[in-house]
Structure 1
Amino acid sequence: MGASNFSEETLSGGDSVYAAAVEEIKAAFGFDFVSIGLTAFVGAPLKWVYSAGATSERHRRIVLMPGHGIGGIAVKSGKPMMFSNIDEEIDPREYSSYPIVFAEDLHGFCALPLTRGKRVVAVLLVAFRTVSEAHEGAYRCLIEHLGGRLLDMDVVSSDFMNFENVVTGRRADAKTNPISVRSELSRVIAAQEDERKRISRELHDGIAQELLSVSLSIRRLAAHVDEEGSALVAEANGAIDRILDELHNISVELRPSALDHLGFEAALRSQAAVFERTYGTEIVFEGNLSRTRFDQALETQAYRICQEAILNACKYSGADKVYLSLEDADGWLHASIIDHGCGFDTEKPSVKGSGCGLAGMRERASVIGAMLSLRSGAEGTTITLVAPMSVAEGKEAAL
């Protein structure tokens, strides 16, 4: 379905070209969901802009950096991807790497990089919400019909990424090195946080600063090279900027500086904004705290518990919104995380991610003498943390 295969209305120009294209592809091949994700420039994030068959607007809020998510992987690698049955082909612990899968409940997809001048500028995603042996045939028919061209872009439809060896290796590793929840987890929490803090600072104050120095040196070269050299200088600086962004994200994930310098609520607001961009879930934040700082142990453990709860809601609930509220009264900190998603069996939750999130949250709550309650069902999930604002002596070690 090259440019010549679209109707005259589709070719009338403007955004309507892309919007009409996804609608026509969906109608012609019977896909449940079709979307074109766009990236503004090399290294820029990709967003699913034009879609047909969406169940909500949630997917439009997903922002994918190169190498992350279906769109980000296709942009970074320049190679197409195809999964006919996600449940069989991808380890459940890898689902969270594909936020569009959660947003639109996809069970099989084909992602095709779209290029101009050999640079990936967009990604075409076609997908089904059911599993059928006929679906791969539909993907192949689309590829053949496109004939290597979609509107003003070339379609990359060869050399599909081979994930089977990676997936098999991960499954084998999971069997030989099962993740266990240990009763002594509380005794290593302090060491984990100290190590997180050390690595975070090393990334920010060490590696990041060295890269900035290299970037400045490269920029000084620009005045001494020809036009071709200037292009290479710009390309090198663009690569360094992308690395710096990724280092920053890793550093924040390990130990946000806001938690140490600004406090619990500020750090949570910052983390919530990151989750919104990554997973497309709107996080409604209501903070009503009487002060900005609490005991360090309380701040750290409450932050980690809320972070895990919000992340799980974004990944697994299927809800468009997650509600987070904070308040303190009579010497107690109250935090609640609510979603109106699919819920789960609290007694026998299915293993997703590392499988130790809930247990880790309970351990962290016990470290600070807090009460953690969990209610989940068809109406959604509510997690409530009630913690004493003055952590008992001896608990301070578990920062």
Structure 2
Amino acid sequence: MGASNFDRATLDGNNEAFQRAVEQLRARLNFDFVTMGITAFVGAPLKWVYSAGETSNRHRRIALAPGHGVGGIVLKSGKPMLFTDIDSELDPREYSSYPIVFAEDLRSLCALPLKRNHHVIAVLLCAFRDVSESHAQAFRSLIADELRGTFCELAVVSEGFIGFDASLHDDASILSGRAGDSGESSPAKNDGSPRLIRSDLARIIGAQEDERRRISRELHDGVAQELLTVTFSLQRLREHLDDEGIAILDEAHGSINAVLDELHNISVMLRPSALDHLGFVPALRSQALVLEQTYGSAVAFEGDLTLPRFDRALETQAYRICQEAMTNACKYSGSDTVRVQVEAASDWLHICVSDDGCGFDVAHPTIKGSGCGLLGMQERANQVGATLSIESGAAGTRVTLVTPMRAQEELQ
């Protein structure tokens, strides 16, 4: 039986015993941050529900599919993770792939799977926001002295530690303060490697859009539909099963639903169907929901949100520019809220994506991810005759797109 046995109050964060246990654990071992993530059923996303020492509520909006982020990796693998110095073991450009590390600015952590009836249904994460030799002892005390195999009547897994790259570490070396050999960090992207010229980038952007549309359609119309067919076939078994068989069947349904959700998110990132069928703003809203669940930042929309359909090329490029700006803000700014302002007047489209985060040097940006984001945004703007401006500093970042707009019916 999985986490579906948890009562509604537990899943909604209203279990006082769980919250009290998290707070007491943080106080006794002087952790900076302690949180407990819970999944509704086996295969469902994990959400950080009970916390102590948080800097904001941003982490509570994160929903981690199995295998994604610290919580998702621990949930899927059933193995704990422990790092005493994240900076030395994880390339800083990859922090955004682990939202809880990014949202709470963590530097050392221990994440432990929590089991009920042999299924991982929760994750306990204890962390510090700095690096110290004393942290190894704190994690050792957590496992050996404080928990002793259970937390809130759930079994604690404390063997077989894995790293961010999912490679096995030696337990003894981790608990003595050495997180194992995580390998050399990847070289910086600005090391003299060839750069794309504009004509190359334009061709790549066009090819990417075609390929994204094709893959998105195949995921939705092919893989997703096949999985739905499997669920219908499984449902026919229900009347032939005993209680134990029904429980296993329910877990299988949960796992398939989790895969369908992940396919939907991937499809939205590739090419949201809303962009083709409903238009610019509905597609942006769909993207915002994915980003909120992935990174925890709230995305707030303002302005004229009843735009008509307009030139498909403009819709696509404006959407991609906004998608990149929203994603960058959620991943890198550290801002709790990202604002998207949309205005359409006198045949002009004005879009602004802003945050009040840490900002960056626009003239000499630190290379993150593929390193082509800002260049790609500018090239997309050039393709549709739009003006793109990026302002950033200590007060945050503002990306503004201004472009002439033609309604779709004018092109026919």
| TM-score normalised over the length of structure 2 | 0.86
Report the alpha carbon displacement of residue 234 of structure 1 after superposing the two structures with TM: 3.2
RMSD across aligned C-alpha pairs, in angstroms? 2.4
Q: Is the 8 A contact 1:262 1:292 kept in 2?
A: no
Report the alpha carbon displacement of residue 194 of structure 1 after superposing the two structures with TM: 0.8
Report the alpha carbon displacement of residue 200 of structure 1 after superposing the two structures with TM: 0.7
The residue aligned with 1:314 is 330
* SS at 2:401 equivalent: strand
1-structure distance, mates of 2:125, 2:264: 29
The residue aligned with 1:203 is 219
Report the alpha carbon displacement of residue 370 of structure 1 after superposing the two structures with TM: 0.9
The residue aligned with 2:5 is none
Query: 125-134 or 172-181: which moved more?
Result: 172-181
2-structure distance, mates of 1:331, 1:147: 67
% identical equivalent positions: 60
Report the alpha carbon displacement of residue 63 of structure 1 after superposing the two structures with TM: 1.5
Query: 221-230 or 303-312: which moved more?
Result: 221-230
Q: From 242, 249, 261, give the equivalent of 1:233.
A: 249
Cα 1:82–1:143 shift into 2, 3 Å: same
Report the alpha carbon displacement of residue 309 of structure 1 after superposing the two structures with TM: 0.6
The residue aligned with 1:331 is 347
Cα 1:178–1:224 shift into 2, 3 Å: farther
1-structure distance, mates of 2:299, 2:194: 30
Alignment of 1:271-290 (within 5 A): 271-288=287-304
Matched, 1:125 2:140: no
Cα 1:164–1:175 shift into 2, 3 Å: farther
Q: Write the letter of the residue equivalent to 2:68.
A: H
The residue aligned with 1:223 is 239
Report the alpha carbon displacement of residue 97 of structure 1 after superposing the two structures with TM: 1.5
Report the alpha carbon displacement of residue 18 of structure 1 after superposing the two structures with TM: 1.7
Q: From 336, 340, 343, give the equivalent of 2:356.
A: 340
1-structure distance, mates of 2:217, 2:226: 13
Query: 124-133 or 164-173: which moved more?
Result: 164-173
2-structure distance, mates of 1:287, 1:309: 18
* SS at 1:195 equivalent: helix
2-structure distance, mates of 1:173, 1:308: 21
2-structure distance, mates of 1:175, 1:325: 33
Cα shift readout 1:239-287 (whole Å, capped 9, x = no counterpart): 3222222212111111000000000011001111221122111111014
Cα shift readout 1:334-368 (whole Å, capped 9, x = no counterpart): 10011111111111211222222111111111111
The residue aligned with 2:153 is 152
Report the alpha carbon displacement of residue 177 of structure 1 after superposing the two structures with TM: 12
Alignment of 1:1-399 (within 5 A): 15-145=15-145, 146-163=147-164, 168=183, 171=186, 180-183=195-198, 184-288=200-304, 291-390=307-406
1-structure distance, mates of 2:256, 2:121: 20
Report the alpha carbon displacement of residue 39 of structure 1 after superposing the two structures with TM: 1.5
Q: Is the 8 A contact 2:39 2:46 kept in 1?
A: yes
Cα shift readout 1:45-96 (whole Å, capped 9, x = no counterpart): 2221111111111111112222221111111111101122222211233212
Q: Is the 8 A contact 2:41 2:251 kept in 1?
A: no
* SS at 1:375 equivalent: strand
Q: Is the 8 A contact 1:32 1:127 kept in 2?
A: yes
Q: Is the 8 A contact 2:189 2:371 kept in 1?
A: no
Report the alpha carbon displacement of residue 179 of structure 1 after superposing the two structures with TM: 8.4
Cα 1:97–1:179 shift into 2, 3 Å: farther
Report the alpha carbon displacement of residue 303 of structure 1 after superposing the two structures with TM: 0.4
2-structure distance, mates of 1:121, 1:165: 20
Q: Is the 8 A contact 1:265 1:292 kept in 2?
A: no
Report the alpha carbon displacement of residue 40 of structure 1 after superposing the two structures with TM: 1.9
Q: Is the 8 A contact 1:268 1:307 kept in 2?
A: yes
- For structure 1, the residue ranges without an aligned partner over 5 or more in a row are 1-13
Q: Is the 8 A contact 2:268 2:286 kept in 1?
A: no
- For structure 2, the residue ranges without an aligned partner over 5 or more in a row are 1-13, 168-181
2-structure distance, mates of 1:225, 1:57: 43
Q: Is the 8 A contact 2:82 2:163 kept in 1?
A: no
Query: 239-248 or 46-55: which moved more?
Result: 239-248
Query: 38-47 or 302-311: which moved more?
Result: 38-47
Cα shift readout 1:352-388 (whole Å, capped 9, x = no counterpart): 2222211111111111111111111111111101112
Q: Write the letter of the residue equivalent to 1:117.
A: N
